[in-house]
Amino acid sequence: MAETQQPNDPVPAETPAGSHQEPSDLPEHEPTSGLPLGSLLLVALVGLAGCAGAGWWGMHWTMDPEADRWARQWQGNREMQSRIGVVSSARYDILGTYGEPYEETMVFLIQGDKGSGQLVVTEFGMKIPRVELRTNGESTVLQEGVEGPKPPEHE
């Protein structure tokens, strides 16, 4: 008499000869060599983060002296004196600069004994750059820009 098959039994009790492979007939998996894919992705991610960090640091290293120069140049301005006071620090604002509509604009974060704000300088294509002070949601133009000769157009 044939045995009854259990509902969860994946192999029937009686199988015709040759229709079921024995475990010893199954192909063996060869061992993988090298690093697993996850490790390679982790190394790539760490490398990418390192490059981004180096770029961020390099941009500050080169542009912070420019921020100091602009802050010192406008230190004596009446608006700067009343809103910022004596400037104690000036740094290049990377995210603020990229958020401006014109690519020739630089944004500097300035801090003084009376307050803090942004000094926004637009100078490319200008004979005299446009300088704006932004503090507490208010914007004051310290100097209107005067356009210079247009750069030559590329063909």
Domain ranges of the chain: 64-147
- For residues 105-125, average pLDDT: 88
- The CA distance from 73 to 106, in Å, is 15
- The CA distance from 47 to 65, in Å, is 28
- The CA distance from 105 to 121, in Å, is 6
Q: Which residue has the higher pLDDT, 18 or 128?
A: 128
Task: Identify whether the C-beta of residue 148 lies closer than 8 Å to the C-beta of residue 125.
Answer: yes
CB within 8 Å of 120: residues ≥ 6 apart: 100, 105, 106, 107, 108, 131, 132, 133, 134
Task: Map residue 140 onto helix, strand or coil.
Answer: strand
pLDDT 10s digits, 98-114: 888 777 888 999 999 99
pTM: 0.57
Task: Identify whether the C-beta of residue 116 lies closer than 8 Å to the C-beta of residue 96.
Answer: no
Q: Which tokens belong to 69?
A: 């120069």
Q: What is the pLDDT of residue 155?
A: 45
Residues in the chain: 155
User: Taking 90 as the threshold, does the pLDDT of residue 21 lie above it?
Assistant: no
Which pLDDT band, with edges at 50, 70 and 90, does 154 fall under?
very low
Q: Which tokens belong to 79?
A: 């608006």
Share of the chain above pLDDT 90, in %: 17
